[in-house]
Amino acid sequence: MVLGWTYKNRRPWLDLENPDCEITLVLNCDSKTAQNISVVDRQGNIIPSNIRTDARATTPLFFLAKMIGRPRTRITLDFRFPQAEPVVISLANGRKPLLALLPNIICPEFLFNLKRWIEHAHCPEGISNFVETGTLFGHTTLYASYWFKRVFTVELSDGLFKSAQVNLRDRPNVTCVHGNSAKKIPEIIPNLTGTSLLFLDAHWSGDKSTDWGGSGWAGYPHDTARLPDTDLDEANRQLPLMQELEAISALHKGAAFVLIDDWPNLGRKNFGFADEDWSNLTQSMITDWFDANPRTKFHQRTDTKRYLWALN
């Protein structure tokens, strides 16, 4: 488990002139396995890193590991991110990936701050369910599993779904769902009881066909998926947002709060990277739909990247 990372002597985001940071990992493994850890960039090159191990029990996780009889090792990694690109923590010189890290993502704190605010202002009984579309590496799902009673996450990519099943297998309240989120949300909603928070983040984020050199964003260290139906226009292959919203409105019987990620991307092409296409929906199209929907309680921006819709 990643406990976190800190940037040295400055504020916690990536500085391209000084991208060094310290990563702290907690692994249930023996010291020999710990020495096999490496840091790999998106081209598969090993990034030089200083690895320190400490088997002393210094956190509750270590005490838990001791109680259940598993070997425990604390690993601290020091390395420099290659500019703003992601890296993978791996075993056996990059042949067995364990965890992907992005230099500007620490924890989905925005999500849990929002949960607290909603429960304080609108939902004193609490939010029981979390539904995410677009699992990616499962980081948000993992965090959410400690904050919500039931967690569902939907991923279209075969590879990312299989990784999520493995990475989240020890979280009994998480259900990983494989497929098109527009079709899977109607299957998930009947399983929900109580208030839900739905985080809509299902969209194509590039693959090996993307011209990353000509893109403003470096991409993830893994191919992502879009719908394979080439009879659809490109935007509808990449972004199922409207179909997700319609399914939630029609089927979720109780109160719900829907957080839309990447709000500034709506209505744009090639905004984040080459061939990205969100031109099928604009912000005004969605807000007009909210205004006309009889279930709308309110809708508003939560920050520069995200938009919230509350259903009664």
Compare 39 and 294 and report the one with higher pLDDT. 294
**For residues 180, 186, 192 and 195, what is the CA-based torsion angle, rounded to 10 degrees?**
90
Q: Cα 234–237–241 angle (5° rounding)? A: 115
* pLDDT at 300 > cutoff 80: yes
The string of pLDDT tens digits covering residues 214-251 is 888 888 878 999 999 999 999 999 999 999 999 999 99
pLDDT given for residue 14 in this prediction: 43
Kindly list the structural domains of the chain, giving each domain's residue range(s) and its CATH number in brackets, ordered by start: 2-101 (no CATH), 109-311 (3.40.50.150)
Q: Two tokens at 161?
A: 């779904």
Q: Two tokens at 155?
A: 């991923």
Q: What is the spatial distance between Cα 277 and Cα 271, in angstroms, rounded to a whole number?
A: 8
pLDDT given for residue 62 in this prediction: 45
pLDDT given for residue 23 in this prediction: 65
The string of pLDDT tens digits covering residues 79-112 is 777 765 678 888 876 677 877 776 554 568 889 8
The string of pLDDT tens digits covering residues 27-51 is 656 667 777 888 888 788 888 888 7
Helix pair angle (283-292, 241-251), 10° resolution: 10
Question: Do residues 105 and 139 touch, judged by C-beta distance below 8 A?
Answer: yes
Backbone angles phi, psi at 226, to 5 degrees: -130, 165
Residue % of the chain over a pLDDT of 70: 79
